[in-house]
Amino acid sequence: MCKASQTILLRRRWFATELRIDCSGPGGEAALLSPSWELRPDGDGTLLAFSSTLELPAGYRTMVLAGWHWHLDALAGFLGGTPADLVNVTGWDQIHQRYAWPRARTRPFS
C-alpha cells in the first residue's frame, strides 16, 4: 500500500509543490518530488523558471527527468500553437534514452 501527501505553496508569481510517496511493505520505496515554477518578466514577455528536487529510487530518476522534459516541451509547443496529445504520448522514449546515457549508448544532450 502506498501513502501520498502533497503540500502546495502559492505566491503571486511563484508556485511550488512537495509530493511525498511512501510505499510500505516488502520492496516498498519512498520518493520525494519538489518541483517549483516561477514567472519572471523578460522584456515584452515572461520567462518560466522551473526547478525540481528529486529524492527517488535510482530506477525512477531518468524516467521522471524525461517526464518533466517532455511536459516542458509540450508546454512550449502549446504556447507556440501546437497542442500536445497528453493521452497518446509520443517522443518520451527518445528523451528518456538521452537521460539514461551512457547505459543507452546514445549521445547526451548537447
Question: pLDDT digits over 61-80, tens only?
Answer: 888 889 889 989 998 999 89
Averaged pLDDT score across all residues of the chain? 81
pLDDT given at position 25:
57
pLDDT given at position 109:
54
Q: Are 14 and 2 in contact (CB under 8 A)?
A: no
Flag whether pLDDT at 26 surpasses 50: yes
* Grid coordinates of 102: 551512457
Q: Is the pTM of this model over 0.85?
A: no
Flag whether pLDDT at 41 surpasses 80: yes
Domain ranges across the chain: 1-56, 57-110
Question: What gap in Å lies between CA 7 and CA 16, rounded to an integer?
Answer: 8
pLDDT given at position 51:
87
